[in-house]
Structures are given as structure tokens and as C-alpha cells.
């Protein structure tokens, strides 16, 4: 039985991922802040899919606690999915470094802090998969969310380097760029339906990517092409666009 650790398990995407992996025979550790709120979810997965589910308190921003957290896991994972992140408020962050720092730490520093530990362990065990949920927002900086975007860009770059390092140890790294997803985080945004995925679609795509050892996953295929176009606009023109 493969054990999967989900970091930031409270989000809609994370919950869908938990079900998807449990359905395919994975036992789980779900880690999040106020993890007790996930007690119904854990019981539900155990009853519906006969998989043991552990809950562990985890705060991505509390870097100092990560070592102890990983050390004390009930079972060492073979698959680690890093879902936590923070969209934040771009406008506020522009004039408030505390918000900026929170965005960077949630989306980048915190993820690096825990994945560094995971990577050491998996490398030593010569087996496993690390799945990082990054964002298409990291593919090019835009005025509407470049602080979030730059943190995700850094995370994508980190995952790319990690993939390069771990390939020889038989550990695979997947970078996931979901595009728009209809979740609690985006509840107040007016998202264009055709390029907006459901959490379940994202979870299915991630599981399939895990099975087929995809490197970079755009969960809806359109996004690969949208980003290709966005990336190829010359900076001279791009800087004048209202994106």
C-alpha cells in the first residue's frame, strides 16, 4: 500500500486529491492548520474507500516546526503532494511588506522548507514522487498578481531543479499548473467557464500525471497554449497590456 502525504489538506483541491488517491488504494496523512476540521473527511474516506487516514497539524509558515513534523509522521510517505499556498491581495501587498512576505512564504519559502526534508528522505530511500502545486501565474509576471506569481515562479524553478537532481535516485517530481479552478479561494472571482477546472478535474489529472510520470502538468490542456502565447509576447508590448 502506498502512503501519500498531502500538505495543506483543507483546500478544495487537496480534498479532491485525497479522495482520488484513496480511491486508487493509497493510505493517507492529511496535514493542515486546524486539522481537526478534517475529521469528517478522514472518517468518510475510511468508510468509503477502506483506507486508513491520519491527521497531522501542520503550518507551512512555521518553518522551524517542519523537521519535527516530518520526523513524527505516523508513516513515511512515498508520495507527497504540496498543495498549500496563499493568493493574497496584490494591491495590499504592494504597500504592505507583511502581506508580501506572507504570500512569498506561503507559496515559496514554506514549500521549500518542507520539501527539502522530503527530498532528502526520498532520495535516500531511492523511491517516491513529489508533486508541487504551482501556478500558471508564475509563467509570466502580470501587474494584477505578480507577487503571488513571482513566488510561484520561484517554486516552479525549485521543482524543476529538484526534478533534475532526483531523477538519478528514482524519485520523480511533478510541477502542476492548474490555471483557473473553481474553489473557495476563487469563489469571489468571475472566472471564464471554459478554462476553469473543477477540483475533481484537477485531482484526476494529477493522479494520471503521477501514474504516467509527467513532468509539467497543465490540468486543462488549453492552458499550455494560452501560456505559450502569453510568454511569447515581446516585453515591450506586454508591459503596456492590462493583464
Tell me which stretch binds another protein (CB under 8 A): 44-52, 59-67, 164-172, 233-241.
44-52
Residues 6+ apart with CB under 8 A from 153: 138, 139, 141
Task: Name the region of 230 (left: φ>0; alpha: ψ -120 to 50; beta: rest).
Answer: alpha
Residue 117's contacts (CB-CB under 8 Å, 6 or more residues apart) are 66, 67, 70
Cell numbers 509576447 correspond to 233
Q: Which is nearer to another protein, 37 or 241 (CB)?
A: 37
Which residue of 24, 44, 101, 201 would you call a contact of another protein, by CB under 8 A?
44
The site string for another protein over 170-209 (x = CB under 8 A, - otherwise) reads: ------------x-x--xx---------------------
Q: Name the minimum Å distance from CB 203 to another protein.
A: 15
47 versus 229: smaller Cβ distance to another protein? 47
Query: Measured between alpha carbons, how far is 25 from 28 in angstroms, rounded to an integer?
Result: 10
What span, in angstroms and rounded, lies between the C-alpha atoms of 132 and 123?
A: 17
Given a contact cutoff of 8 angstroms between Cβ atoms, the answer to whether 19 and 45 are in contact is yes
Q: How many residues bind another protein (CB under 8 A)?
A: 12
Interaction between residue 41 and another protein (CB under 8 A): yes
Residues that bind another protein (CB under 8 A): 10, 37, 40-41, 43-44, 47-48, 182, 184, 187-188
Amino acid at each position: 500500500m502506498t502512503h501519500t502525504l498531502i500538505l495543506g489538506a483543507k483546500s478544495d483541491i487537496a480534498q479532491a486529491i485525497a479522495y482520488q488517491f484513496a480511491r486508487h488504494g493509497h493510505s493517507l496523512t492529511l496535514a493542515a492548520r486546524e486539522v481537526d476540521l478534517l475529521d469528517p473527511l478522514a472518517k468518510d474516506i475510511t468508510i468509503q474507500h477502506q483506507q486508513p487516514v491520519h491527521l497531522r497539524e501542520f503550518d507551512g509558515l512555521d518553518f522551524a516546526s517542519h523537521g519535527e513534523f516530518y520526523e513524527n509522521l505516523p508513516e513515511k510517505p512515498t508520495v507527497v503532494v504540496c498543495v498549500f499556498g496563499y493568493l493574497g491581495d496584490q494591491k495590499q501587498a504592494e504597500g504592505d511588506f507583511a502581506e508580501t512576505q506572507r504570500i512569498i512564504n506561503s507559496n515559496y519559502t514554506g514549500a521549500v522548507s518542507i520539501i527539502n526534508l522530503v527530498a532528502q528522505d526520498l532520495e535516500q530511500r531511492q523511491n517516491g514522487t513529489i508533486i508541487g502545486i504551482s501556478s500558471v501565474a508564475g509563467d509570466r509576471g502580470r501587474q494584477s498578481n505578480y507577487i503571488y506569481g513571482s513566488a510561484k515562479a520561484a517554486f516552479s524553478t525549485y521543482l524543476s531543479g529538484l526534478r533534475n537532481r532526483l531523477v538519478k535516485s528514482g524519485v520523480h517530481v511533478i510541477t502542476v499548473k492548474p490555471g483557473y479552478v473553481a474553489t473557495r479561494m476563487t469563489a469571489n472571482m468571475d472566472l471564464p467557464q471554459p478554462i476553469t477546472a473543477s477540483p475533481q478535474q484537477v485531482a484526476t489529472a494529477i493522479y494520471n500525471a503521477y501514474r504516467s510520470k509527467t513532468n509539467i502538468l497543465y490540468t486543462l490542456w488549453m492552458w499550455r497554449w494560452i501560456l505559450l502565447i502569453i510568454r511569447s509576447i515581446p516585453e515591450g508590448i506586454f508591459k503596456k497590456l492590462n493583464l
